[in-house]
Structure 1
Amino acid sequence: MPDDKLRLTKALENRATEEGFAAVGIAPARLAPKTGLRLRQWLEEGRQGDMLWMVNRADERSDPATLWPEVQTVIMLGMSYAPATDPFALEQISDHGRISVYAQGKDYHDVVKSALKRTARWLVEQAACEVKVFVDTAPVMEKPLAEAAGLGWQGKHTNIVSRDHGSWLFLGAIYTTLDLAPSEPGRDRCGSCSACQDICPTGAFPAPYQLDARACISYLTIEHKGPIPLQYRKAIGNHIYGCDDCLAVCPWNKFAKAGAANRAFLPRAELAAPALADILALDDADFRQVFSGSPIKRTGRNRMVRNALIAAGNSGDANLIAPARALLDDADEVIREAAGWALDQIASAQP
């Protein structure tokens, strides 16, 4: 690598660290053809469920140059959200809901994108290049790009695994017209381990490195808008927003340090261990107030209350009968159905 590019890359790494990123790497602006083929096969099998936006822009997702023809290099950055507490701590506390670690603090879209913009602005000042920044909401295949940039590898749970940060990295991308030398790509180190496959409550992994979103608790509780299919309700347990089980069980997490996590993602007290009764009592205004600044706000009150009703039914807790019964007349049809199911489940659990 020429000296000027080497200096720029080192300076970029330092700047990214100052902005709160725990990992940075350089990927070519061309993904391997097999990446696009796998995406299309996944879509053809319908494993994206209701996420039709993945179908509509599949070509742009498969090839960065289709999204932006001028791109020469993709800078991938990772921000740690490694938890300080055990994600399984609430598993047996059935009258409380489990919220995915990533959603217990500030909205990562805002935190990561702000840091990306500052880093990209610095890069433009240093090298007079063009840039575009992306965090999760654009047709960008962050995980294959992160692997190509050496941030880690796509594990058997299909998420990025880092030797230094385990499964706890938020990913962001800077597309640039700069021609930078790529980093050494990540190498798969899952070996014979099947922990993430074995622990999935709903069996959402048809095979290692394959995910059927339609059976995934994260998809069912966040993306899916209708009634949760009956065959998955008991397996959901007390998950009310997302699921960390396959991530949390990964042995590589032993190297992740909670102190490396960005402080913006520290859990808010009301999101770390919410009582189901409190969630069931929320109207739309209360929901917006409680979840202001959280990624949960994007999901909306109705889905969150639906999820809490499923957890209430699984709890068998007679104390949740009254708040569930109050939702039998809710304006939302999906909530009314979930309330009836929850009451039936609680009743059947009583002596």
Structure 2
Amino acid sequence: MNVPGSNDSGNAGAGSVKAKLSAFVRDVEAEARALGFCAFGVAPAQEEPTQAARLDAWLEQGMHATMGWMQDRAHHRRSPHGLWPEAKSVIALGMSYAPAADPLRLAEARQVGRISVYAQGADYHDTVKKALKQLARWIVSEADKRAVGPADVKVFTDTAPVMEKPLAAAAGLGWQGKHTNMVSREHGSWLFLGEIYTTLDLPASTPGRDRCGSCHACQDACPTGAFPAPYRLDARRCVSYLTIEHKGPIPEEFRVGLGNRIYGCDDCLAVCPWNKFASTARVMKAFLPRGELVAPRLAELLALDDAGFRQLFSGSPIKRIGRDRFVRNCLYAAGNSGQPELLAQVEPLLADPDPSVADAAAWAVERLTG
């Protein structure tokens, strides 16, 4: 039996709660922007079957190369609930690191090494996670004060088994482009991502819409053919993977394609037409490039011992790959340089105790002596 007015009363109560949560989300966004985040959105903490299936297929085809953690924790990565069953919402956030100068301008400057834009400043993990933690504390405190909680939260950036880019797209930050990275109408391809999982059931943002259209600039720009198809990246051929994650000698078929890239690669990001809307005005000070990392000379980098490497890259994400892998990369760049004068720095490394360094030195000597 229906009681007159009972449904209206229930709907009014639900509407009040929804309005309160909507107002709370607006205030969370304002706080996030005050902390340096330039992109904000909310997605439901649920599995997206299409994305989960794509992950499974990518792993089955071995496109994750030697990154075993992708396979080992795939059950956590498929859905926010795989990592935290109590989560109801994901707050997705982005910080811009849009470069002031064209990342491709040094492509022909063979006497220097090219470092990916994101690694020319301070380690973004530290900056993003610090801001995430501050925002998470604010959310917990304010949710309690406003009686929209209690709110439990967990923060993640990059290193956790989280499908960051699909979640960011679901939260409306942008879309996953054909280069598989996030693309934003406001910030181009230059966003560091972070997430806050929460038990709050927050109103979701409108998901991002794919705006790549018929453009294939990023696919054409890849120097090693790492895109077997649009929206699919084969890490085994990717310069970023090869110079950062890959241990041991890099396969010879890719060495010439490395050019003078010694840590990461920006080519597929840099050619994206949406970057014309990106602005450096909101870039955090920590992400601004260090002068010595903008165009470092190969001759100086090849002379680095372990202590020198650690000193030069203190506070940098580059530090984690170690001196041997980094000098290996610099030797490939030297081999591609066409600068015989670099032999003075290359030849002593033929006797380097690290086999991959010695192998790269032998390859560079052969290239430089013709």
Asked if residue 281 in structure 1 is aligned to residue 296 in structure 2, the reply is no
Asked if residue 118 in structure 1 is aligned to residue 125 in structure 2, the reply is no
Give the CA deviation at 1:31. 2.8
Do the aligned residues in 1 keep the contact of 2:47 with 2:81 (CA within 8 Å)? no
Give the CA deviation at 1:251. 0.1
- C-alpha distance in 2 between matches for 1:148 and 1:260: 23
Alignment partner of 2:184 out of 134, 139, 162? 162
Number of the residue aligned with 1:88: 104
- C-alpha distance in 2 between matches for 1:338 and 1:218: 18
Alignment partner of 1:241 out of 246, 263, 266? 263
- C-alpha distance in 2 between matches for 1:117 and 1:338: 42
Secondary structure class of the residue paired with 2:236: helix
Tell me the alpha carbon deviations over residues 54-91 of structure 1, each in whole angstroms, 9 at most, x when there is no partner.
Answer: 00000100011011111010000000000001101111
Number of the residue aligned with 1:223: 245
- Which amino acid counterpart does residue 131 of structure 2 have in structure 1? A
- C-alpha distance in 2 between matches for 1:262 and 1:152: 20
- C-alpha distance in 2 between matches for 1:226 and 1:42: 24
Number of the residue aligned with 1:193: 215
Number of the residue aligned with 1:321: 343
Q: Bigger CA drift: 183-192 or 31-40?
A: 31-40
- C-alpha distance in 1 between matches for 2:64 and 2:234: 7
- C-alpha distance in 1 between matches for 2:186 and 2:85: 33
Secondary structure class of the residue paired with 1:227: coil
- C-alpha distance in 2 between matches for 1:314 and 1:48: 27
Asked if residue 334 in structure 1 is aligned to residue 334 in structure 2, the reply is no
Do the aligned residues in 2 keep the contact of 1:153 with 1:160 (CA within 8 Å)? yes
- C-alpha distance in 1 between matches for 2:47 and 2:129: 23
Q: Which one has the largest radius of gyration? A: 2
Secondary structure class of the residue paired with 1:76: strand
Q: TM-score, normalised by structure 2?
A: 0.93
Do the aligned residues in 1 keep the contact of 2:179 with 2:232 (CA within 8 Å)? yes
- C-alpha distance in 2 between matches for 1:278 and 1:116: 37
Identity value in percent:
63
Secondary structure class of the residue paired with 1:281: coil
Number of the residue aligned with 2:9: none
- Which amino acid counterpart does residue 46 of structure 1 have in structure 2? G
Give the CA deviation at 1:322. 1.0
Alignment partner of 1:56 out of 63, 72, 90? 72
- C-alpha distance in 2 between matches for 1:241 and 1:278: 16
- Which amino acid counterpart does residue 27 of structure 1 have in structure 2? A
- Which amino acid counterpart does residue 142 of structure 2 have in structure 1? Q
- Which amino acid counterpart does residue 342 of structure 1 have in structure 2? A
- C-alpha distance in 2 between matches for 1:212 and 1:66: 25
Asked if residue 203 in structure 1 is aligned to residue 215 in structure 2, the reply is no
Superposition misfits of 4+ residues, deviation over 3 angstroms: none
Number of the residue aligned with 2:60: 44
Secondary structure class of the residue paired with 2:351: coil
Q: CA RMSD for the aligned pairs? A: 0.7
Number of the residue aligned with 1:65: 81
Q: TM-score, normalised by structure 1?
A: 0.98
Give the CA deviation at 1:319. 1.4
Unaligned runs of 5+ in 2: 1-14, 144-149
Number of the residue aligned with 1:310: 332
Number of the residue aligned with 1:183: 205
Secondary structure class of the residue paired with 1:225: coil
- Which amino acid counterpart does residue 123 of structure 2 have in structure 1? D
Unaligned runs of 5+ in 1: none
Asked if residue 150 in structure 1 is aligned to residue 166 in structure 2, the reply is no
Give the CA deviation at 1:108. 0.5
- C-alpha distance in 2 between matches for 1:88 and 1:96: 13
Tell me the alpha carbon deviations over residues 227-247 of structure 1, each in whole angstroms, 9 at most, x when there is no partner.
Answer: 111000001100000000000
- C-alpha distance in 2 between matches for 1:39 and 1:272: 35
For these two proteins, the number of residue pairs brought into alignment is 348
Do the aligned residues in 2 keep the contact of 1:31 with 1:145 (CA within 8 Å)? no
Number of the residue aligned with 1:11: 27
Number of the residue aligned with 1:79: 95
- Which amino acid counterpart does residue 89 of structure 2 have in structure 1? T
